[in-house]
Amino acid sequence: MAATRVMMMSTTNIAFKSSFLKPQSLAFCFNKSAKLVNKKRGFACSALYKPDDVQIKEEGLPETLDYRVFFHDNTGKKISPWHDIPLHVGDGAFNFIVEIPKESSAKMEVATDEIWTPIKQDTKKGKLRYYPYNINWNYGLLPQTWEDPSHANPEVEGAFGDNDPVDVVEIGESRGKVGQLMKVKPLGVLAMIDEGELDWKVIAISLDDPKASLVNDVDDVEKHFPGTLTAIRDWFRDYKIPDGKPANNFGLGNKAANRDYALKVITETNESWAKLVKRTTPAGELSLV
């Protein structure tokens, strides 16, 4: 029998209560205590959630093909970390879901084609995937975002979206856990081009990090985390080379764009996600539950 373990997410990480996604819904938030707001930078879920815990349940054993990390609401019902957890938490902060903890190499990711979109370890030709070396930062996704594969971005060499949620590189000192939710603020963004697909990497920091108040933009990152922006770019540029693949490329001058540009990317991909769940954009094999 598959092992099942339960982890409780601290209320310091998220205050969240879920209701379930309906394909015909026009709202970006799915909660009676949340409201749809149209801010200057686009639609957002305002942080009006009760401080209920989200349960994380592991099914199967880590580093096996059956391993899954499911998200549950406070009633025990499964929810989707991609669709049901709000993007915005207010005051310019966002929910970030850790898929790969810093200093680890198992390639964990939200299974966008499985019901409830649990986190699992990626596979290739039936074998579990690992990075050739540890990733040095917490890595994961922004919920309620989507990089539309039918959209060619004119600012980044006309590259099409990679059909996934937006990735986040969280640079704080604490090591996260698979499935952990952090409140983060964006600092910049890299426009990685992976085999012709645009794969945004938002650089962010946890609001709980001791240096969070010191960094608000890319220039602050270089000042308080010297060398980190270059290290992130080089890591993502080179990680496929040991497998015999070419290095990845970057648009936008081969450097991280600033916070305002990162917020623009988040807004646009949030709007793309909204079109996806409203079914005005074809979902293909993606799960909308």
What is the rounded CA–CA span in Å between residue 253 and residue 214? 26
φ, ψ of residue 252 to 5 degrees: the values are 55, 40
Q: Please list the residues that pair with 88 across neighbouring strands.
A: 94
Catalytic residue among 49, 67, 130, 131: 131
**Token reading at 76:** 């025990």
What is the rounded CA–CA span in Å between residue 204 and residue 161? 21
Q: Assess contact for 183 and 87: CB atoms under 8 A.
A: no
133 is catalytic: no
| Beta strands in 167-213, from DSSP E residues, in sequence order | 167-170, 181-194, 197-206
Cα distance between the two ends of the chain: 26
Q: SS3 for 57?
A: strand
Residues forming the active site: 131
